Amino acid sequence: MVLLVAVLAGALLGILRAKIHKMPYQAVQIQHIWLVLAAYIPQFFIFFLPATRSAIPDQWVSILFVLSQVLLLIFIWINRKIPGGWLMGVGLGLNFLAIVLNGGMMPLTPENAQHLLPAGSTVTLTLGERAGVSKDILLEKSATRLWFLGDVFLLPEWFNFPMAFSPGDVLLSLGAFWLFWELGNPRYQTNEVPA
């Protein structure tokens, strides 16, 4: 959600920036985009598709999640020269570190988990286990390696969309915003991006 908002805001403001300068919104030369699709496919099955997300054992969820993160890191390394690429890489790297050091899932504190549950929910969350069918594992700060890299931030209540996100998500989103904003820059030329 945070990443989607950053992409949309960056694109809208980048297009506006291009229009102000009376120039076309630039395209970016992204290499090996298939790696993003390859990284998304396992996440689709383990987190989003109702028929499979509760059927796949948590051990396999962890393995597939880590592998998908590796594919994203490879993709961003290949494309590190694009505007915001290094910032997206740092964000992905921080998320990867938090995930790998905590058993292949993103750590989430019980306090933040409580904020994500709807009022009157009867869902029972157990410490040390996956939080429902999400990418998160429920851990106390004291039991979490590098807890401050986990899903420590919450969207404000007025968003009316409960969501936790990590510092890595923030950096990844800022990098994505930067990319789409920069495509409206009259000085940005796609032929300057190294092949």
pLDDT value of position 121: 65
Task: Compute CA distances 147 → 61, 101, 104, whole Å.
Answer: 21, 10, 14
Q: Is 121 inside a domain boundary?
A: no
User: Does the pLDDT at position 178 exceed 90?
Assistant: yes
Residue 77 has pLDDT above 90, yes or no: yes
In total, how many domains does the chain have? 1
pLDDT of residue 88: 96
Q: Give the pLDDT confidence of 110-145 residue by residue, as tens digits.
A: 888 888 876 666 567 778 888 777 899 999 999 999
Q: Which of 48 and 92 is assigned the larger pLDDT?
A: 92
CA pair distance 48, 134, nearest whole angstrom: 9
Whether the CB-CB separation of 72 and 64 falls below 8 Å is answered with: no
Q: Say if residues 78 and 65 touch (Cβ distance below 8 Å).
A: no
Parent domain of 88: 2-116+126-190
Tell if the pTM clears 0.85, that is, is over it.
Answer: yes
Does some domain include residue 165? Answer: yes
